[in-house]
Structure 1
Amino acid sequence: MTRVEFYVLPDANPTGRLRAACQLAAKGWQHGMQVFIRCVDETQSSEVDELLWGFRAERFIPHEQHVDDPKAPVVIGVDQAPQFTQGLLINLGSTLSSHIDQFSRVIEIVNQEPQLLTACRENFRLYRRQGYDPKRVEL
């Protein structure tokens, strides 16, 4: 069954949330996982793309937008179906992905922004209703 975790950041900084997504994507890729970063929209997708280009000076993180290469090691998209199975989904969206079962692991990144907190709490309940056992991880 898919492992679901909510990584909780201590502040409401939206850029911190995107940086955490980049860190987790780098870590997943370094451990041999295919990574899909699910963004809210194309604007956020472009922001994540830019962050990944300059994220680590000493090591390039191979990534592409879904429209350019859906089979890249790290894929950035909105809600497209992944081209691989058993990878890592990093969900920056405020709703659940309709492709959860295609991943072995899902990470939701939560910060202290009130609207996002409300959405993530609802997602936590929805995961439970669907039979998952979501865990909370404090960052």
Structure 2
Amino acid sequence: MTRVDFYLLPAGESLLSYACRLTEKAYRQGHTVFLVTDTDDEAAQLDDMLWTFRQGSFVPHRAVTGHTAAGPCPVAVGREPPVGFDDVMINLGSAVPEAFRRFRRVIELVGPDDAARALKREHFRHYRSEGLSPTMVDLEAEASPFRRVGYH
């Protein structure tokens, strides 16, 4: 069964920067990752950022179009998940991808603005209507100094 998590980003956190850091972490843990974007331009921007988001970082990846196989690369960026990707999907898009069920884990990144949160609420309802139990992770609360010292 697909695990779905919604990560609520704090104010001031860049959606694309966070996606790059999360992708790097998943890659280092041995996962394959597909990042969903709405447009080819957004995919190209994210493709560039994955090379430059942090000095010294290395996340082997490629941008893909259509349903072609992504080859041996562990990370891909595009509008539609290519054949061969079924591990982690990070959705930066405005719709729930039809292929979400084939992934072991789906991560929905939620920006801090009201419009982004309203859109992702629709995604949350969609996953629930599909029989899944999505979880919410409030990254702003996780960054609280009280959480760092063990206070909940």
- Which is greater in Rg? 2
Gaps of 5+ in 1: none
Instruction: Summarize deviations over 1:32-55 as a string: whole Å, max 9, x none.
Output: 111000011111111111110112
Q: 1:4–1:133: 8 Å Cα contact kept in structure 2?
A: yes
> What is the letter of the counterpart of residue 95 of structure 1?
A
1:35 and 2:33 equivalent? yes
CA distance in 2, matches of 1:33, 1:54: 21
Which of 1 and 2 has higher RCO (CA within 8 Å, sep 6+)? 1
CA distance in 2 between counterparts of 1:81 and 1:25 reads 15
CA distance, structure 2, for counterparts of residue 74 and residue 64 of structure 1: 7
TM-score in terms of structure 2 length: 0.83
Percent identity, aligned pairs only?
Answer: 36
Cα distance in 2 between the residues matched to 1:85 and 1:18:
21
1:1-139 equivalence runs, <5 A: 1-11=1-11, 16-67=14-65, 70-71=70-71, 72-78=73-79, 80-139=80-139
User: Does the CA-based 8 Å contact 1:12-1:113 persist in structure 2?
Assistant: no
Give the CA deviation at 1:12. Answer: 6.2
Question: Secondary structure, in 3 states, of the residue corresponding to 2:49?
Answer: helix
Change (3 A) 1:65 1:39: same
TM (norm. structure 1) is 0.90
Paired positions, count: 136
